[in-house]
Amino acid sequence: MKKMSFVLILSAVLILMVSASTVLSAKPVLKVGTSADFPPFEFQDEKTGAYLGFDIDLIKAIGAEAGMEVKIVNTAWDGLIPGLLTGNYDCIMSAMTITDERLGSVAFSDPYFSASQVIVTRSDDSSIKTVEDLVGKEISVQIGTTGDIEASEIEGATIKRFNLAPDAIQEVRNKGVAACVIDFSVAEEISKQYTDIKFGEPFTEEYYGIAINKNNVELLNKINEALASVKASGKYDMIFEDWFSIN
Ligand code: ARG
């Protein structure tokens, strides 16, 4: 009987110790929504399924700085803002351009990357160089992106909208459209794999920001502080080098 209660007490103590230590060591989780179809910013390793890219490394560095553990939630691009507003995740890290329209529904961190749109065409097509050359043409875009917004303003153009960014570029190779309007670094990254497409000069000025729910001012401040530290410590430059060095 004595032995029995000793064992009981001992196991109770052990259980308490284990649960106390998990509570103490568990970092708060930062749930991050992303559309992992946008190399080199966010994409999945074909073999392991791991999330990789500049944005992924940067948000992990920001999380580490803020003492939070980052958990990636892969979500279709056009569902990202609705998902943030419903609370599926705490922020969006997805090469998302800060636009006035988006600022109507979400808050953005300080800008973390300067970007631009470019026109992707077939390599053997010398007729399209500028936006003016796209008048009346068929153009592919990722649905709801700034590329979509830019292309939709072109007179007489027919817009083919794709859920996934790589599919919009693929449509140029398939000769389904004359051109694709997409973010410069993504055009650059994807066209590395193919010789039959090329891209032109950047024609917009955009800045990526981390989108956060407007009522979560605490997180917005935390992320801005952590981003500033990651920049000041040289960590930002290291990550930039990893993904955008010319070598
Ligand atoms: N920068 C563009 C925008 O904000 C495209 C971003 C697309 N991001 C992605 N992960 N597919 O509209």
Q: Residues 200-240: pLDDT tens digits?
A: 999 999 999 999 999 999 999 999 999 999 999 999 999 99
**222 & 148 share domain:** no
Our mutation pick for probing the ligand 1 site, out of 89, 102, 183, counting the most ligand atoms within 8 A of Cβ, is: 183
pTM: 0.90
Our mutation pick for probing the ligand 1 site, out of 55, 113, 142, counting the most ligand atoms within 8 A of Cβ, is: 142
Would the CB of 75 count as within 6 Å of ligand 1? no
Would the CB of 146 count as within 6 Å of ligand 1? yes
**102 & 121 share domain:** no
pLDDT over 70 at 15, yes or no: no
**197 & 159 share domain:** yes
- Split into its structural domains, the chain has a count of 2
Tokens 């398939």 sit at which residue? 174
**163 & 91 share domain:** no
**Do the domain assignments include residue 22?**
no
CATH code at 132? 3.40.190.10
**Do the domain assignments include residue 15?**
no
CB distance 244 to 40 below 8 Å: yes
**200 & 211 share domain:** no
**103 & 133 share domain:** no
**34 & 148 share domain:** no
Range of the domain at 143: 117-204
**196 & 88 share domain:** no
3 CB contacts (<8 Å, ≥6 apart)?
Answer: none
Q: How far is the CA of 94 from the centre of ligand 1 (A)?
A: 6
The DSSP line for 184-233 is: HHHHHHHHTT-SSEEE------EEE--EE-TT-HHHHHHHHHHHHHHHHT
Tokens 């631009």 sit at which residue? 116
Instruction: Please indicate whether residue 247 or residue 242 has the higher confidence score (pLDDT).
Output: 242
Would the CB of 148 count as within 6 Å of ligand 1? no
**Do the domain assignments include residue 51?**
yes
